[in-house]
Amino acid sequence: MLTLLPMLATAQSDNLWLNFKTMQEPYVFYFTSKNATFDVIRKELSSVTPNLYTAKKQEKASFLVLDNSQNPAIQGDGFVINADEKNVKIEAKTSAGALYGVYEFLRRRKTGETVIKDLVSNHVYQIRILNHWDNPDGSVERGYAGKSIWFQDGKINFRSDIETYARANASVGINATVIDNVNADPKILSSQMLQGVKTVADRLRPYNIKVYLAVNFSSPAALGGLKTSDPLDKDVIDWWTKKVKEIYTLIPNFGGFLVKANSEGLPGPMDFGRTHADGANMLAKALKPYGGIVMWRAFVYNPQGGDRAKQAYDEFMPLDGKFDDNVIIQIKNGPVDFQPREPFSPLFGAMKNTQIMAELQITQEYLGYSDHLCYLATMWKEFLDYPTYHNGKTVKETTLNQKLTAFSAVANTGNMKNWCGYVMAQSNWYAFGRLAWNPDLTSQQIAKEWINLTLTNDEDAVKKISNIMLRSREAVVDYMTPLGLHHLMGWSDHWGPEPWCAIPGAREDWMPRYYHKAAADGLGFNRSSTGSNAVEQYQEPLKSMFDNPKLCPKEFVLWFHHLPWDYTFDNGNTLWDELVYHYDKGVKEVEAFQNVWTTLKGKVSDPVFNEVTEKLKVQLDEAQWWRDGCLLYFQTFSKMDIPFKTKYTFEECKAKLRTKSYIERQKD
Ligand code: GCW
């Protein structure tokens, strides 16, 4: 018995946030429909009810799940719940809505809420989609939870417990998934592979999850053997038209394509003298008859000189208004690349006649992998709620007033038992789904829900854990890239600090020095009107605010300005003082998290307690390494004092990075 307990507890977090509570009430159930989605509903309810008694007539039942509601408050796959100990009514207009309502009910029951009155819940974004960067060979680009959950050895071979994935997504309303990497292998569209993709789509359909594919723009040539992949070529258009027909014959509810084109060496329409709009619209026309869409990425990153942060705007703004109505431009939250903190991409709000959507990153490529506790809802809320000053809209609002609306994020799943490589990383998948359903939820509320569902209901423990989560992202920013610094991480595998990195022959704008510009005269990238003038891409008054170091929010000051080491802030601190303060504050935060965590023994399961304890040790060590590596390197230019003893010497910091890559460590 004793040995069994920890195993049971482990299984709990392997089950993600799906640990619902048994209901003792003698409910009699009534379901309006019989279909695959209602089979899921029955299964979920059976697992929390000793006996699932059903009635033939609605009047005889006390627990109703309806998908034929006339309630005018319900939109799309939304739902209304009314419940007490005696009667439960979950009503929706679609089976998917009924499923979402059941999950909401189970979630609330888990936290002890038995009386629910007229709870109306409608989704804000229509498409709530995960982007998996999984490759057919089974590897996962920027994945820190093991191998692919979809592919193995060039073929589809999904996790045997893929139902848990489907349930987890449906429970937060995620209704779409791109199963392959945006660095797309043309063979994803081979007939053999599509047969496999069909099996995935069939498994996910009952959960209202549509499958999409990331496609390689040169598939007609690379896979189809055509001479070209020029989007205006008749044979190319024909090839795509036939391919799309083949897909829809297999997968009638196929969602569409996600495309990374003319970025980081991938092919695209510009290889043939065409534009992003030519490329996107050609694919959109092939998909249109079936209701499919194209998500075309704005993450363009090509060597062209100049300021990389300006490129997406420069390339896409001239195309505003030129995209078909089943195209949506997928824009990363920041103008560079999923850094711990970036200002929002200036395309939000500026593209007024084009449908746009945000792309976030759940996988912690630049935020400590699945080793650092870093709750991302706070970062995403900061982004969504930022005022763009375009027609008075926040970033979120700029993505809503259009025919198609969508919200996406790069997944953090893998084939490790616990899906995400760290129980705390599961919270970010959960948070993404909840925000896609309702971006007005607070980070705090989402954290509380997730803790209740996954870790504990103990009030004091919930408070403490939630407090750690809410502070965690700022801590990571502080010990990695405070004050607007960015891209200081290790070469290629993006692990650890390497602001000194210089790889002979490598592209200049892949090198940290390009971004931080540390020199005897100071630190930071001058993107003001006296520099690259990236500030110009923002709407007034942001433009003037970002342009002036005195007005620029301190958290972005080195993003927009190159400042002398003795530059003085309003609080009397020099730039150097502030840097030292923030780097050290980040480390102190992790120490504080550790101190709080030790008080939680017995309040969460032992395996969770031990896992977080171990990971926090790694996080503290890496935070110290980041702090020391960055400060000791910057000190070679500033020649100013570090007012405490570092844990590592500069030489040790460099050596630590080169000892072993993260991927190698994972194999141990
Ligand atoms: O963040 C960078 C990553 C690449 C990724 C690329 C992208 C899929 O380092 O691994 O490629 O962005 O978003 O396309």
How does pLDDT run across 169-194, given as a tens digit for each residue? 999 999 999 999 999 999 999 999 99
Residue nearest to atom 13 of ligand 1 (CA): 299
Class of domain 477-525+562-667: alpha beta
- Can you give the pLDDT at residue 11? 53
Cα of 90 from ligand 1 centre, angstroms = 42
Does residue 474 have an active-site annotation?
A: no
- Per residue in 454-499, pLDDT (tens digit) is 999 999 999 999 999 999 999 999 999 999 999 999 988 899 999 9
Distance 256 CA to ligand 1 centre (A): 21
Nearest residue (CA) to ligand 1, atom 3: 142
pLDDT tens by residue, 279-316 = 999 999 999 999 999 999 999 987 677 899 999 999 99
Radius of gyration of the chain (CA): 25
So what's the pLDDT on residue 502?
Answer: 85
Q: How far is the CA of 295 from the centre of ligand 1 (A)?
A: 16
Listed in sequence order, the residues at least 6 apart from 247 whose beta carbon sits closer than 8 Å to its beta carbon are 189, 194, 197, 213, 254
Q: What angle do CA 265, 271, 272 make, to 5 degrees?
A: 165
Q: 191-204 and 162-172 are packed helices; what angle lies between their axes, rounded to 10 degrees? A: 60
**Architecture (CATH level 2) of domain 14-121:** 2-Layer Sandwich (3.30)
Pocket test for ligand 1, best of 365, 410, 489, 493 (most atoms within 8 A of CB): 365
- Specify the pairing of strand 151-152 against strand 127-131: unpaired
Nearest-atom index, ligand 1, CA of 183: 8
Measured N-to-C along each axis, helices 234-250 and 191-204 cross at an angle, to the nearest 10 degrees, of 40
Q: What is the mean pLDDT of residues 419-436?
A: 98
Average pLDDT of the chain, as a whole number: 95
Which tokens go with 565? 């080491």
Residue among 215, 337, 342 whose CB has most ligand 1 atoms within 8 A, to mutate:
337
CATH number, span 127-454? 3.20.20.80
- Identical topology for domains 14-121 and 127-454: no
The distance of Cα 211 from the centroid of its chain, to the nearest Å, equals 17
Which H or E run contains 417? none
What's the pLDDT band for 165 if we cut at 50, 70, 90?
Answer: very high
Single out the catalytic residue among 264, 460, 521, 614: 264
Which are the contacts of 667, defined by CB distance < 8 A and separation ≥ 6? Answer: none
For the segment 437-443, the average pLDDT, to the nearest whole number, is 98
Lining ligand 1 with CB less than 6 A are 133, 141-142, 181-183, 260, 299, 337-338, 365
Count other Cβ atoms within 10 Å, centred on residue 605.
Answer: 21
235 in active site: no
Q: What are the start-end ranges of the E strands in 210-326? A: 210-215, 256-259, 293-297
Q: How far is the CA of 613 from the centre of ligand 1 (A)?
A: 31
% pLDDT > 70, the chain? 97
What is the 181 CA–ligand 1 centroid distance (Å)?
9
505's torsion region: left (phi>0), alpha (psi -120 to 50) or beta?
left
**Catalytic residue selected from 365, 474, 578, 584:** 365
104 included as an active-site residue: no
Which pLDDT score, from 0 to 100, does residue 207 have? 98
Question: Could you tell me the residue ranges of all domains in the chain?
Answer: 14-121, 127-454, 477-525+562-667
